[in-house]
Structure 1
Amino acid sequence: MELTNLQESLLVFAGLKNQLEPALRTVKRYPLDDELKFTVTSHLLILVSSFLEEWRRFSGLGCDESVRKTLRSASPAIKRISQWKGIRTLRSTVLAHPFRQKDGSLTIVESLYENNLVSSEYAESILLGECAVYAIATAICQHNCIYEKAKLKYYSQVRSKIPINGIQTMSEFHKEIDRIRLAITVTDPCLADCFQGNSRRPS
C-alpha cells in the first residue's frame, strides 16, 4: 500500500480529530469538575503537540498550490496555537514522559509557566484543542477527494475490526485490582493503610 505524503498527513489529521473532538466534548460537558478538566486538558495538549508535529510535515508540502491555500486558510488557528512556544517541551518532559529532561535531570515544571511558554489555564488549553480541530477540518475539507481516496486505500489493507484484548467489564476490573492489591499488601501489610490515604507508617 503506497500513499502520497499528502494522503498520509490527511489520515493522521483525521485520527487526531477523532481523539480531539470527544475530549473537547467531555471537558466542556463538565466545566465544574477540576479533576476531569486537569486530566482531559493534559491529554488535549498532548494531542495538540502531535498535531503541530504533523502540521510541520504537512507544511513541507507547500510547493503544492492547494496545500499553500490550506496553510493560508488555517493560519489564524495555527498562529493562535503557536503563541505558546513550550507545548512540545511540556509534552516531552511532563505530560507524556516522566518529568525528566533528555539528560535525565528532573523537569522544573514551574519554569515553563513562569516564562510564558505554556498556558496554565483550562480554557486556554480547550481553545488550543479547538484551534487544532478547525485547522484539521480545513485541511480535510479542502482536500476531501484526496482524503476519501486515501481512506479507501488505507482501510482496504487493514483489519476493519480490532480484536478484543483485556478485561471488558467493571466487575472484572474490581476483581482483578482487588487481587493485585492483596498481592502487594501481602509483602508489606502497612501498605494497606497507605493505599487508603494514610501515608504514615507506624513507628
Structure 2
Amino acid sequence: MNNVDLELDLNNLKMIFEDLHFNNEIQPEQIPNLDLYMDQVITLFESNLFETKRSVEDKLLTKTMINNYTKDKLLMAAKKKKYTRDHVILMIIIYNLKQSLAINDIKNVLKPIVEKIENNEKVDIDSLYNKYLLIKTNNSEEIKASAEQKLKEVKDEDGDVLLYILSIIDMANGYRKIAEKLIDKFFENTNEK
C-alpha cells in the first residue's frame, strides 16, 4: 500500500512529538491572582500557548469566543469587565475540551462548577487544574509510547502514512466516544430543558 509514499520512521515521529509541545500549558503560577481584562486574558493565552497552534493564523482565544462562552453558560459573567483566576482556569479547560468535544458536551460538564461559583459556593478549581496538569503530563508520555507502538504495527503490515493516520485517528475517536458516553451517563443534558 503506497497511497502516500512518505518515509515515516521513529526519528520523524519523535521530531513530530517535539513540534507538538504536548506539555506546553499555562502553569498555575503564570495565572495572576488579580483580575484581568479580556485583552489581558487573550494575551496570556497567546503568549503561553502559541507553540501549540497548528498554524500561525490560528486563534487560541478571541473576544467573541469569551463572550459566547459566557452567553452559553460555559463561563461565569465577568465582574466589572474583569476575569478572575477561576475564569482563566475555566477558559483553559474549555480550550482543551474544545479540541475533541462539542460545545454542548462541554457545557454539560462545566455546568455544575459554573453554577457553584455563581452561587458563591466553594469550588477548588486550582486543585482540579493542578491534578489535570499532572494527568496531562503522564498522558503525553503514554500517547508517545502508544504512537510509537502503532507505528511499529503499521510498519509490520507494510503500511504507509495513511494507514498510520487511520490507526491513530481510530484510537482518538475511541477515547472521544468513551468521554461522550461518560458525559451522557453522569452529567445533566442542558439541551433537554
Query: Common fold, TM-score beyond 0.5?
Result: no
Q: RCO greater where, 1 or 2, for CA within 8 Å and sep 6 or more?
A: 2
TM-score, scaled to structure 2 = 0.28
TM-score, scaled to structure 1 = 0.27
Larger CA Rg, structure 1 vs 2: 1
